[in-house]
Amino acid sequence: MEKKIPKFLYEKLENQYGKEIKEKVIEGLLEEKPLTIRVNTLKAGIQEIKDKLDREHINYNSVEWYDEAIIIENEKEQRIQDLDIYKNGEIYLQSLSSMIPAIVMEPKKDENILDMTSAPGGKTTQMCALSKNEAMITACEKNKIRLERLKYNLEKQGAKRVNVMMEDARKLDDYFSFDKILLDAPCSGSGTENIFTQNFTEELINRSRKTQEELLKKALKILKKGNVMVYSTCSILKEENEEILNNVLPKFNAKIVPIENIKQIPILPVTIEGTVCVCPSKLYEGFFVAKIIKE
């Protein structure tokens, strides 16, 4: 795939960030990312996985802000998928940026959590691991094929106490009520490799905005008062991030909780203090995360 950045994205990035930061973002988007894995602590210990990688003569690096994350050096995906630790569900292939929302969420024992758009299950299984399988998670997915993938990953990873629903989360009954909600919203993927596909268009951004706003409104309706939710996208455009929050939060008496437990990552300037926008780089995809409290 030839890496060519669409002209309209150049313009959007320059308008939002200015010329200097735009160039840095473009450079990051063009970088070839290494493979990254998350140790599934429901099935294996971190050192145990590192020892197994050593035995396979696979070079790797740790990640300062998250013990469970490992950066694989100079290995293709197939090589990792051939390992028993992958086949047994002891590790999960996941980008570093996409590990952030579940960490920000801090799922705890007996919390009733909704994952609104959960397939293929990376963040769902991560929340199960973080809560030691003691949180109660409802995982929504409207697409049947993606739903099957989600079920497969939940079983493979040993994720328990997950209720899977084939449902468009926007249509969930308002009688539902959750302690915490993760909304990893469908987006244009402007912080990822998706920008190099034919799928990436201005129309996709506009369509995503509409869905994001509808999902966020639903989330805030069914989130218990005084509780928190996480909104995230793999977009670096404020029209899919801060603008959505600014449009929706005031209507629900909801406010931003500053994110403080993620450090040492490359970030972009944001227009809402306390939110995080990860800058595309050699290691990271572009990603936006906001923690919200419904007062």
Q: How many CA atoms lie within 13 A of 85 on its CB side?
A: 26
Which of 163, 70, 86, 69 lies closest to 124 in space, CA to CA? 163
Which of 229, 211, 227, 209 lies closest to 219 in space, CA to CA? 229
Biggest distance spanned by C-alpha atoms of the chain: 55
Interatomic CA distance for residues 41 and 85, integer angstroms: 12
- Helix, strand and coil content of the chain, in percent to the nearest 5, comes to 40, 20, 40
Q: Any catalytic annotation for residue 277?
A: no
Which of 195, 21, 29, 13 lies closest to 97 in space, CA to CA? 29
Which residues, in sequence order, are bridge partners of residue 197? none
C-alpha dihedral sign at 173, 174, 180, 185 = positive
* Catalytic annotation, pick one of 140, 234, 277, 279: 234
Which tokens in the block code for residue 55? 């035995």
Cβ neighbours of residue 170 under 8 Å, at least 6 residues apart? 211, 214, 215, 218
For 193-196, which contacts have Cβ atoms below 8 Å and span 24 or more sequence positions? 193/1, 194/234, 195/5, 195/6, 195/9, 195/29, 196/1, 196/2, 196/3, 196/4, 196/5
C-alpha radius of gyration, the chain, whole number = 19
Query: If you write DSSP's letter for every residue of 265-284 in order, what string do you get?
Result: --B---SSTT-EEEPP-SS-
Instruction: Show which residues are catalytic.
Output: 234
